[in-house]
């Protein structure tokens, strides 16, 4: 049993009350974590406040060096990060190694380098010069979900601190283990006390107290759209800087000229990576009617061949869902799909696994056809291993179907003609579109959604701008 404490002002501090953290693959309790309340959040905010002046004054070069030190220390513990992330989230270990462990290190390295190269324009006038400088915003409140725990936490902490802010972060209480490892790393390397404070607990308590705190100047939130609305309702009237990275219901458009043998493995990956619990997952697959039968046959066969089971085994393609209640929610959508006239082509139930995994929150990868593209199953975010497939007759119809949800996060187009793919991509109403690839990330590009998928952008200069205040100083040439 792991016992986790909050990390506040450079010290590990216990809370009065604790919560249990479960292994989703077995249902066993693996850790006890603080159930932080107002007192713990206030301590963390005060620590962040005290550290502000020192941290903003040390300069960007030195702060970037600290990011490199964090990256080095995380890299030395990469295997441990992957094991903890797999244990805590139920995701396959191979995925935790390839994505979570490596991206967490890469996030710190990237922002350390990129911030040093990032320059802000000066604007010359006939009689004056405008100098734009970037100042820290102050205290950044960072709130992150359970699907990519350290990956998303480091994606916020790195740009926040490199730009001179101090941080109070609340990871999801369902996946606290790697945030705790990050606290250990920060402690080990001796980052000045109070620069990064990590408070564990429920979102409705610790998370809400962070958002409500008047000393917290900025909120960067990644999570569901409903929670995002609550966060915005609290933060907006307080005029906090706010970034919301929310849910998605992303379309995958498969044109008739696609090389199916090459693209199907990637389309399957985009539908089911991390048990479909990635905001970018392509959960609505729109297929040209000219290749419908061939696509469905090949796609379903591929999905059926995937192994669900022990996340620590390198043979598992899919692990467990995050919790029993989340699996219930995903299953309720499978039942809804049946009521809406859908046909389950594969999956649709929990697999028969041997102990201890028979007590885990597993679900077979599920493919559903026969639904209207306007049905609830095809338009609401399920966030599980469930995809719906729909035929279309023309490119125009494909775009109409792709744009018919309230979400606007991401999408992908699959075609033998990259130019046609790009033209279609331009008509999709989302913040990101991939052509003949998926989740192919360059950390310099903007990341974020439109419509109900969020407000603002992260990544590269967009993160650095968000985590800073641009101040213009206009100097007249002569008095
Ligand atoms: P969630 O329930 O919205 O929770 C996200 C975080 O917010 C958690 O740490 C949560 O704590 C906290 N929280 C809950 N209520 C809060 C409140 N009133 N004030 C402040 N914080 C609060 O989302 P989730 O179920 O963890 O994650 C899945 C969702 O995240 C999906 O919709 C997915 O699409 C989205 N997501 C989006 C992106 C993106 O970049 N756009 C990336 C990843 C995930 P608790 O855990 O204690 O509730």
pLDDT digits (tens, 9 = 90+) for 80-119: 999 999 999 999 999 999 999 999 999 999 999 999 999 8
d(CA 216, CA 235): 10
Q: Is the CB of 202 under 6 A from ligand 1?
A: yes
To test ligand 1's pocket by mutation, which of 144, 154, 226, 227 has the most ligand atoms within 8 angstroms of CB?
A: 227
* pLDDT of 1 over the 90 cut: no
**Could you tell me the pLDDT band of residue 121, with boundaries at 50, 70 and 90?**
confident
Residue 436 alpha carbon to ligand 1 centre in Å: 29
To test ligand 1's pocket by mutation, which of 169, 171, 203 has the most ligand atoms within 8 angstroms of CB?
A: 203
- CATH 3.40.605.10 occupies which residues in the chain? 2-246+453-474
- Residue identified by tokens 């693959």 is 25
3-state secondary structure of 344: strand
Q: What is the pLDDT of residue 433?
A: 98
Residue 145 alpha carbon to ligand 1 centre in Å: 4
Q: How far is CA 73 from each of CA 69, 106, 320, rounded to the nearest angstrom?
A: 6, 12, 29
Q: Which residues are identified as catalytic?
A: 245, 279
Ligand 1: nearest atom to the Cα of 171: 9
Residue 197 in contact with residue 169, Cβ under 8 Å?
Answer: yes
Q: Helix 177-189 and helix 78-89: axis angle, to 10°?
A: 150
7: left (phi over 0), alpha (psi -120 to 50) or beta: beta
Closest protein CA for atom 22 of ligand 1? 203
Contacts of 59 by beta carbon, 8 Å cutoff, 6+ apart? none
- CATH 3.40.309.10 occupies which residues in the chain? 251-442
Side-chain half-sphere exposure of 151, counting CA atoms within 13 A:
20
Q: pLDDT tens digits for 312-362?
A: 999 999 999 999 999 999 999 999 999 999 999 999 999 999 999 999 999
The strand pair at 29-34 and 2-3 is best described as parallel
Q: Is the CB of 143 under 6 A from ligand 1?
A: yes
Q: Is the CB of 431 under 6 A from ligand 1?
A: no
Q: What is the pLDDT of residue 31?
A: 97
d(CA 269, CA 348): 18
Q: What is the pLDDT of residue 34?
A: 97
Residue 227 alpha carbon to ligand 1 centre in Å: 6
To test ligand 1's pocket by mutation, which of 24, 35, 145 has the most ligand atoms within 8 angstroms of CB?
A: 145
Residue 469 alpha carbon to ligand 1 centre in Å: 26
pLDDT over 70, % of the chain = 100
Q: What is the pLDDT of residue 86?
A: 98
* pLDDT of 474 over the 90 cut: yes
Q: Is the CB of 229 under 6 A from ligand 1?
A: no
Q: pLDDT tens digits for 192-242?
A: 999 999 999 999 999 999 999 999 999 999 999 999 999 999 999 999 999
Nearest alpha-carbon partner for 320 in 266, 267, 357? 357
Ligand 1: nearest atom to the Cα of 208: 19
Side-chain half-sphere exposure of 102, counting CA atoms within 13 A:
8
Q: Is the CB of 147 under 6 A from ligand 1?
A: yes
Q: Is the CB of 248 under 6 A from ligand 1?
A: yes
Q: How far is CA 139 from each of CA 158, 217, 332, 340, rounded to the nearest angstrom?
A: 14, 5, 40, 47
Residue 246 in contact with residue 454, Cβ under 8 Å?
Answer: yes
Q: What is the pLDDT of residue 119?
A: 83
Structure tokens at 368: 């559903």
Closest protein CA for atom 46 of ligand 1? 172
Architecture of 251-442 per CATH?
Answer: 3-Layer(aba) Sandwich (3.40)
CATH 3.40.605.10: does it fit domain 2-246+453-474?
A: yes
Q: pLDDT tens digits for 384-408?
A: 999 999 999 999 999 999 999 999 9
* pLDDT of 120 over the 90 cut: no
Q: Is the CB of 146 under 6 A from ligand 1?
A: yes
Q: Where are the alpha helices (DSSP H) in 373-417?
A: 376-379, 395-402
Residue 467 alpha carbon to ligand 1 centre in Å: 20
Q: Is the CB of 452 under 6 A from ligand 1?
A: no
What secondary structure letter does DSSP report for 192?
P
Closest protein CA for atom 32 of ligand 1? 224
Segment 265-280 shows an average pLDDT of: 98
Q: Is the CB of 446 under 6 A from ligand 1?
A: no
What secondary structure letter does DSSP report for 357?
G
- Residue identified by tokens 């090389």 is 259
Residue 294 alpha carbon to ligand 1 centre in Å: 38
Residue 194 alpha carbon to ligand 1 centre in Å: 25
Nearest alpha-carbon partner for 66 in 27, 37, 108, 107? 108
């Amino acid at each position: 049993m792991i016992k986790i404490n909050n990390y506040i002002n450079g010290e590990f501090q216990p809370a009065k009350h604790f919560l249990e953290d479960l292994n989703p693959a077995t249902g066993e309790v693996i850790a006890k974590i603080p159930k932080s309340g107002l007192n713990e959040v206030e301590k963390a905010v005060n620590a962040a406040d005290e550290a502000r002046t020192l941290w903003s004054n040390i300069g960007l070069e030195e702060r970037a060096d600290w990011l490199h030190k964090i990256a080095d220390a995380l890299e030395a513990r990469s295997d441990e990060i992957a094991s903890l992330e797999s244990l805590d989230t139920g995701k396959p270990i191979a995925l935790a190694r390839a994505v979570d462990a490596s991206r967490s290190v890469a996030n710190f390295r990237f922002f350390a380098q990129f911030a040093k190269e990032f320059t802000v324009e000066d604007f010359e006038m006939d009689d004056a010069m405008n100098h734009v400088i970037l100042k820290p915003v102050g205290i950044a409140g960072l709130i992150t979900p359970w699907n990519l725990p350290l990956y998303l936490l480091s994606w916020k902490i790195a740009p926040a601190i490199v730009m001179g802010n101090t941080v109070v972060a609340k990871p999801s209480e369902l996946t606290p283990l790697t945030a705790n490892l990050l606290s250990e790393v920060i402690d080990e390397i001796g980052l000045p006390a109070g620069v990064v404070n990590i408070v564990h607990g429920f979102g409705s308590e610790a998370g809400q107290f962070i958002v409500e705190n008047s000393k917290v100047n900025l909120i960067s939130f990644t999570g569901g759209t409903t929670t995002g609305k609550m966060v915005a309702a609290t933060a907006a009237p307080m005029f906090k800087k706010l970034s919301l990275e929310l849910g998605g219901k992303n379309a995958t458009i498969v044109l008739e000229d696609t090389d199916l043998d090459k693209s199907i493995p990637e389309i399957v990956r985009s539908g089911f990576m991390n048990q479909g619990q990635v905001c970018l997952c392509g959960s609505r697959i729109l297929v040209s009617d000219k290749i419908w039968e061939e696509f469905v046959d090949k796609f379903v066969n591929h999905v059926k061949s995937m192994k669900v089971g022990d996340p620590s085994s390198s043979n598992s393609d899919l692990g467990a869902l995050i919790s029993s209640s989340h699996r219930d929610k995903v299953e309720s959508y499978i039942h809804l799909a049946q009521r809406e006239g859908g046909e389950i082509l594969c999956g649709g139930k929990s697999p028969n696994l041997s102990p201890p995994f028979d007590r885990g929150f597993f679900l077979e990868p599920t493919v559903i056809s026969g639904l209207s593209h306007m049905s609830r199953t095809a338009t609401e975010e399920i966030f599980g291993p469930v995809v719906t497939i729909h035929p279309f007759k023309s490119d125009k119809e494909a775009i109409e179907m792709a744009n018919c949800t309230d979400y606007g996060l991401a999408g992908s187009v699959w075609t033998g003609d990259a130019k046609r793919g790009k033209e279609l991509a331009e008509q999709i109403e989302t913040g990101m579109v991939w052509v003949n690839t998926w989740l192919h990330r360059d950390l310099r590009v903007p990341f974020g959604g439109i419509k109900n998928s969020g407000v603002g952008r992260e990544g590269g200069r967009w993160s650095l701008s968000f985590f800073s205040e641009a101040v213009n100083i206009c100097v007249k040439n002569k008095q």
